[in-house]
Amino acid sequence: MNKPGIIGTIQLAATLVFALPVGLLGVQFLLDGKALLGGGFVAVAVLMVVLEEYLTTPTDVPGAVAQKTVGKVAKTPDDEE
């Protein structure tokens, strides 16, 4: 689910604060020749960002319901034609 605006940007930045060190640790392990461990850390870092970006959490539900409700109730002039 895309979270537009400043709140979504702040949430992504907070996730990156935790995901980047894990990813960098994985890259370091890969450079040291520990492919399995390094690949695992890189995969965890990628999953942290992907899940934050696309997973619907309980805090996202009220906003999604409100957006659908407003879309059905309030019609723009383009919708009425």
Using one digit for the tens of pLDDT, what is the confidence trace for 7-56? Answer: 888 888 999 999 999 999 999 999 999 999 999 999 999 999 999 888 76
pLDDT of the residue at 53: 82
**Does the pLDDT of residue 70 top 80, yes or no?**
no
Q: Higher model confidence: residue 20 or residue 62?
A: 20
Q: What are phi and psi of 16, to 5 degrees?
A: -65, -30
Q: Are 30 and 42 in contact (CB under 8 A)?
A: yes
* pLDDT at residue 76 greater than cutoff 90: no
